[in-house]
Chain A
Amino acid sequence: MNPRSKGIVVALYGFAIFWGGVILVPFFWLAALSVKTRIDAFSVPPKLFFEPTFVAYSEILRDSKFLSAVLNSVIISVSAVTLSLLVAVPAAYALRNMVGPFRRNSTLVLLLLRMVPGMVYLLPYFVLYDRIGLLDTHIGLILVHLIFNVPLIIWMLLPIWAAIPDDLGEAARIDGATLLQTLFLIDLPLLKGGILASSILAFIFSWNEFLFALILGRREVITLPVAIVNFLAFEGTEWGKIAAASMFIVLPAIIFGFFVRRYMIAGMTGGAVKG
C-alpha cells in the first residue's frame, strides 16, 4: 500500500470512529442511565464513574405491564415473521420462475411497496379493523406486519434465488422431483442463509414497530415500544426504568445484527456449476 492510500485508509477509519461515536453516544448514555441510581442519573456534570445498580432492571422485571408488553412483542414478532415467511417464500419462488415483463420490475415494485410510509395504511386499517373487530387483537397486529415484512423478505430472497442456476431445478426435475420437492430439497437448503438473514431483519422490524402498535393495539395488546412511551407518560420521572426497558428493545438488534451479516453472504452455490 502506498503512503497516499494509507493516508486515505487512516482518514476513513478516523471518520468511521468519529461517526460511530456520534451515533453510539446516546446509546451508551441510555445504557449507563439504566444502571445508575436516581441521584447519579441527573448529576451535573454527568458522572463517568459510578456504582452500577440493577434496581431499575429488577423493578421492570417485576412490573406486570412491562412483562405483558414483552410477551406481546414476542408473540407478535415471532408470528409475524413466521406468517411472512409462509407468504413470501412461495411468492419469491413464483417470481423467480416467472417469465414476462413483471418479472423485471418486480423488485422495484417490492421496494416501492416497502417504502410507502405506514401512515398511508393506518387509517384504512383502523377503520377496517374497527368494523371487523380486529382492533386491539394480536392477530390484527400480526397481519398488519405482513405489509412491510413480506416485501422485505421477497426483496432479499429474489437476487439470491436468481443466482441459483436453472440447471439445478431442471436436473431435479429429470431426477424425478416434483415442484414442491425441488423447492424443499434443492432451493430452500441453498437459501438457508438468505432466509435466516431476512427473517432476522423482519423480526427486528416487527420488534421495533411502533406506529401500528400504538394506534391498532391500544389497551389490550401493548407492545414493548408502546409500553415505554406509556412509562414516559404515566410514571413521570422513572428514567431508570425507561432506560432499562429500552435496553430490552435494543437487545435483539444487537444479538442478531452480527448473524445477519454472516448469513447474507450466500456462498452456498459454489460447485454447482463448473467453477
Chain B
Amino acid sequence: MADISLTNITKTYANGVTALAELDLHVQDGEFLVLVGPSGCGKSTLLRMIAGLEEISGGELKIGGRLVNQLEPKERDIAMVFQSYALYPHMTVAENIGFPLRLAKMPAVEIERRVADVAQLLELTPYIDRRPANLSGGQRQRVAMGRAIVRKPSVYLLDEPLSNLDAKLRDQTRSQMVDLQARLGVTTVYVTHDQVEAMTMGHRVAVLKDGVLQQCSTPRELYRNPVNKFVAGFIGMPSMNFIKVTASGEMVNMGPHRLDVPPALQNEIVRLEGRTFTLGIRPEHLELSEAGVPLEVTGVEHLGAETILRLVLGDSEGATQIVVRVDGDKRIERGETVRIKLTEKLHFFAADGVRIGPAF
C-alpha cells in the first residue's frame, strides 16, 4: 500500500512539446483517483511518468514516501493496464497472468496457485489455456487486469482500460472494477476521457487541460462547485449552458431577454451591477414555468425517462443555444414555445473563466 505524491511535475518531450506543467497532486493510500480531460491533455503522459515509462523532466515523484524519479518501473512496485491491453500474443491466458511472477522467480507451484486464484476472481478459469487471439474484448480486458493484480503491487495504473469495450460491457465492467478496487484497497490512478467513468468510479477526480491540473475534488464537489468554466463544461451530460449576461438591478440581461434571478442570489447580482459575466446553468437546473421567458424549441430528443430540449436564447444580434433537461412525461414538440425560469443553482464565471460568486 502506498500514496503517490507529485510535486511540481513537468514533462517536456524531445520535440519541445510541454505535455505537463508544474503539476501538484497527492493520491492517498487506497484511493481511486480518476484522471480525466480531453484528448491530448497529458493524461497518458502523467500515468506513464508515474509508471516509469516516461522520463520526468522536472519535479518530484514519490510513491509510498520514496522518491522514485530515477527508478525503473519494476522497482516502483506498480502495475499498469494498457488501453491496448498489451497481452503477449504467444502466451496463454495463464502464462500472461503469471508472467510478472515468473520474472520475479517465484516457484512454479506458487505461480500456478496465484494465477488460478486471479483467474477465479476474474472469471477467466475456463479460458486459462487460450491465446489472447481467441478471446473476446471483455475477456482480454480481464486478462490485462489479472496480470496487473496477480503481483499484489501497491499501485495500479490504468490507461483507458474500458475504451475498447462496447457500451453495455463497459457499464458492467465499470462497477466490477470499482468493487475489485474497494476489495483489494490498492491505490489506483485511472485515466479516462469518459466523464461518466470519472464521476462514477473515482473517490476523487482530477481534471486536466493542456497539461495543467484544473481541479481535483470529489465527483460531487466537481459537479457542484467547478472552479472554472472549463471544468464546469467538461463535467455533466449534457454540458452546462453558458450565457453571456450583464447584471442590471436584480436581474440579468441577455440581448432582448431580461432574466429573473431567484431571491437568494439577488445580492450577488447587485454586487456585479453593470458587469458582463458568464452565467453557467446545467440543463437540469432550468425549469419550465409560466412566469419564465418564452423561448422557441428548435430541437427535441426523447430519451425515455427524460427529454432534452434545445432552445434559442437571444435574437439576430447574438443568439445562444441552450439545452434544457425536462421530465420525459412532458409532451413538447419542435417549434413550440416554452417558458423557462432560472433556479437557484447558478454558476458565475468571470471573463477569464474563473468562478466568481457563491459556492453551494
Contacts and interface: CB of A to CB of B under 8 A. Distances in A.
Interface of A: 99, 165, 167-168, 170-177, 181, 185-186, 189-190, 268-275
A171 B133 contact: no
B127 interface: no
Contacts of B133: 270-271, 275
Contacts, number: 78
B73 A167 contact: no
Nearest to B14: A99
Contacts of B87: 271-272
B89 A274 contact: no
B134 interface: yes
A173 B53 contact: yes
Given A174-B78, A174-B79, A274 B53 contact: no
B89 A190 contact: yes
B80 A171 contact: yes
A175 B147 CA distance: 8
Nearest to A269: B89
Nearest to B137: A274
Contact of B90 (A171, A175, A189): A189
B90 A170 contact: no
Contact of A174 (B51, B132, B164): B51
Contact of B53 (A170, A189, A269, A270): A170
B109 interface: no
Classify chain B: how many residues form its interface, as a range: 20 to 34
Given A174-B51, A176-B104, A190 B80 contact: no
Contacts of A172: 88, 99
Contacts of A186: 88
Nearest to B144: A171
Given A175-B99, A177-B103, 5 more contacts: A172-B99, A175-B74, A186-B88, A268-B90, A275-B133
B348 interface: no
Contacts of B14: 99
A170 B82 contact: yes
A168 B85 CA distance: 9
A37 to B, nearest CB: 54
A172 B90 CA distance: 13
6 contacts: A165-B84, A167-B86, A171-B86, A174-B73, A185-B99, A271-B131
Interface in B120-165: 131-135, 137, 140, 147, 151, 164
Contacts of A189: 90
Contacts of B344: none
Contacts of B85: 273-274
Contacts of B53: 170, 173-174
Contacts of A269: 89
Nearest to B150: A175
Contacts of B147: 171, 175
A255 to B, nearest CB: 26
A189 to B, nearest CB: 5
